[in-house]
Structure 1
Amino acid sequence: MRSTIKIKLSIMMFLEFFIWGAWFVSLGPFLAQNLRATGVETGSVFSTQSWGAIIAPFIIGLIADKYFNAERILAVLHIVGAVLMYQMYNATSVGAFYPYVLGYMILYMPTLALVNSVSFNQMQDPEKNFPAIRVWGTIGWIVAGAAISYLLHWDSPQSVQQGLLKNTFLMASISSLVLGLFSFTLPATPPKIKGQKVSISQMLGLDALKLLKDRNFLVFFIASILICIPLAFYYSNASNYLVDLKIEKPLLKMTIGQFSEAAFILCLPLFFKKFGIKKTILVGMLGWALRYALFAYGNGGDLAFMLIVGIALHGVCYDFFFVAGQIYTDSKAGPQYKSAAQGLITLATYGVGMLIGFYVAGLISDAYNSSAGHDWRMIWLIPAGIAAVVMLLFAALFRNGETVKAE
């Protein structure tokens, strides 16, 4: 890749995840403090991410692989998303907030696959080149959290009580507009099957389902759904947990996970080469079980270091499963259906898995909430157990021998 293309792709990744990090991490405290949402209502709002991910493969398969350039679709989705995000900023109740966040997530989740597609289209060796581009997304998430917590202090106890967390949506709206306009300058990523006679299944991206005929990919696909059930507990409860424990600058401390993510993502090629895809993914699953156990037994006092270690494990959890999974999926997909294949794995993870997970997390949070407060130990031990079971099933069913080129 030319250096100018690398710079553009890096800026794209930075803004893509800056937008997400600007509002999603603080969503739990915002819903609880500003909109007085229950656990089930909170789970319902978070599950809009899953509905967006479920619809994403159809948008990608129908449009990106057939009719329009991926970077142009990316631009339109982010510009419209900026308008919806501004409406979320103005909402004053869960009922008013929900339609806008649902519409926004239906537009945003396809962009996760689109930025990957735009990136992979410029790479001759994605396994080697992609981590160096993707790491800028992690940096974007870190900068968003640092800005909210360290520069603007919107997550301080006083600011939370004053309702200043709503400003995160305004920041995300402006950033989304910037990325939408910038996307028109990205390298052209034309549809792969434009002008060809295609079936309905091809138009909808359903041909990527052929990947499920491969036993190992089927096991990976199912494991992706199941591991996202405990993952949903982290997204919906972690920031609330730190706020409840009165941890100072909670959103800033949560960016430790993104620093870890930035470091471990650069280690992926080495792990692929030395240990293979199976062991790499198993390490990621182990990380989820371990971090929730640390959350369960840590506290805001003398055992606060356990919470920090649990947050720092995010790099292992996310990179060794999700980013590794994106690269593994790209290596299994044919050249015509790379966008659809990325949409398929988005469907499995952020779609079906988290839809179930957010519902379960909401039920568990309400079940272990009383006048005395949340029983956080049980709230974290349950997803720790789920992650451990998924890890054991994957270890037993995924056959050895799969390789991913990483030279």
Structure 2
Amino acid sequence: MNYASAIARKPQNVHQKTDLLKLLPFALVAFAVLILPAAAHAQDDDCRQPVAVCAARLAVFAISAFDPVGSAVRIGETQLVTARHVVADRQSAELFLQDGSKIEARVVPSDYKADIILLSAPDLPPGPVLQAVDAQEDSKLFTVGADVRLQRIRAYDPGGVTLLPAEDKALARLHHTAHSQPGNSGGALVDQDGRLIGIVAAGGEGRHEAVPSADLATLKDRSGPEHEAVSAEIGAAVRICTLQLENLRGRRGALDEQQIKALTTACRRSGNRQLYDLAGQAFGIRRMTDESLALFLESIEQDPHALNSRIGLAITYHMALRYEEELPHLHFLMQHAPKDPQVLRFAIQAGVWGNDLEIAQLALKRLKEVDPRAALAAEHFMKEPPPRPQPR
């Protein structure tokens, strides 16, 4: 698959756009010579995952739209699904076939705010369709998506379920530890039998998320030309929020009221919890506590199981010295991210300064197993704690 020209054409995501723009002149030359052989090498037979997982690669395609490299999953004869943040408000995407050729896939409008959207590709050749099933707590999970470095569809090493989708939350996601990376967004999360568990959405630092495959039924019901206006608004919000976040990357200093309103409005209108979190981080590093907390709290309201959102919220409370408000979230994280060093360090400090010695002692015990060197300093802190910091 010749994703290379797509990679060079536009920066990859909100975290990498600036660096890739600087390298653009070199990328155009470097990637111009990276033309992969045709079908024989499009899916190299070096897949080390279960046979059914490797076979699932034939139902996953690389695409290029607002994000230059994303993934899409075939769910019908000419129908696919991808992550909405990959296409934003584009009306079509380039879809790369296994033989290296590309076809057009039209975006099907939808008013559904989950991070998924349908694509229609009338020229899509016949191929397998993955069976959609719900995840189980003991499911072994694999990400299948476009690998930017290897220039092909890849099945990655497995992980497991961290938390099933929260009940009675329409936009709740499946949280898991299966490895995923840039280019995989919109790809397939499958079980060891190659069945579709979800659509890859977001993640990082071993904490990953997928839109459950059960949401595909809702997406289909809420897709069609009658949703064109609302779909365009959601897509534009995704694009505007993403670009505004990139404009803030690497810049410090407070934002004026107009900047705050523009960023908050666009990110909220996107309905995308990952964008809420990124905006919350942007406010948090500028010590704009109220704006940061509001977005992280909205994230958790949308999906109470969102570990990355809860960690962002805990960090914001911690930086604001509001340890008592931080502690309930640390208790949740201690249960579901029990060996995360950052969570453990925060639990020790907040536990001591927020008068919850039980969580501090438990965190210290775990830190001794995870990072013995850091545990020595933490133990000294607990024995002789300095005075609680006071707001300036």
Normalising by structure 2, we get a TM-score of 0.23
Normalising by structure 1, we get a TM-score of 0.23
Q: More relative contact order in 1 or in 2 (CA 8 Å, sep 6+)?
A: 1
Bigger proportion of residues as strand: 2
Bigger proportion of residues as helix: 1
